[in-house]
Amino acid sequence: MGIKRLDNVAIVVESLDEAVGFFEKLGMSLDGRTMVQGDFADRTVGLSGIRSEIAVLKTPDGHSRVELTQYLQPEPIATAPSAPNQIGMHRLMFAVDDIEETIEHIGAEPLDGIANYEDTYRLCYLRGPSGIIVALAQEL
């Protein structure tokens, strides 16, 4: 008995369209988009009167998914973007072929440049929509 697989990582965002566009630029593809509401949603999440729109995106290999949620009800709670050393969800990391090309394509800036880890990986963190920290890793 135990887990069979990781189905997805869910992230609440301010703008679903903006977040979907960002992850599509990274190379993910939309797997589905729908409204979520009703008793099952309230009971699952532990909030009352949920009405949200979700989009699920998958990686090119089809093994990993990100679920983006924009709450319409109850009103979402804005927070400051997380810091890399803040307790809680830290970041999403994606393997890329060319780190500079990817950064240029998505129009983002690394938090503090691109680092070389033991001549094995080139790594950087950047901010996506709603302050999400995204890490990119290029194997050398």
Residue 1 lies in a domain: no
pLDDT of residue 96: 96
Task: Quote the distance between the C-alpha of residue 42 and its chain's center.
Answer: 23
Residue 28 lies in a domain: yes
CB 20 within 8 A of CB 34: no
Indicate the residue among 73, 102, 120 that finishes a domain.
Answer: 73
Indicate the residue among 25, 43, 73 that finishes a domain.
Answer: 73
| Torsion sign, CA atoms 20, 21, 24, 25 | negative
Q: CA–CA separation, 94 vs 131, rounded Å?
A: 17
Rounded mean pLDDT of 107-113?
A: 94
Say whether both 21 and 49 belong to one domain. Answer: yes
- Read off the pLDDT band of 15 (50, 70, 90): very high
Q: What is the pLDDT of residues 39-96, one digit of tens each?
A: 999 999 999 999 999 999 999 999 999 999 999 999 999 888 888 888 887 799 999 9
Residue 2 lies in a domain: no
Interior angle at CA 84, CA 76 and CA 52, nearest 5: 20
With CA atoms as reference, report the closest residue to 93 among 113, 56, 116, 122.
Answer: 122
Q: Which domain holds residue 57?
A: 9-73
- Read off the pLDDT band of 1 (50, 70, 90): low
Number of structural domains in the chain: 2
**CATH code of residue 45:** 3.10.180.10
pLDDT of residue 93: 94
Is pLDDT above 70 for 22?
yes
- Mean pLDDT is lowest, of 21-25, 32-36, 90-94, for 90-94
Q: What value does the mean pLDDT of the chain take?
A: 94
25 by DSSP, 3-state: which? Answer: helix
With CA atoms as reference, report the closest residue to 130 among 23, 30, 6.
Answer: 23
Confirm whether pTM is higher than 0.85. Answer: yes
Residue 107 lies in a domain: yes
H or E stretch covering 22: helix 16-26
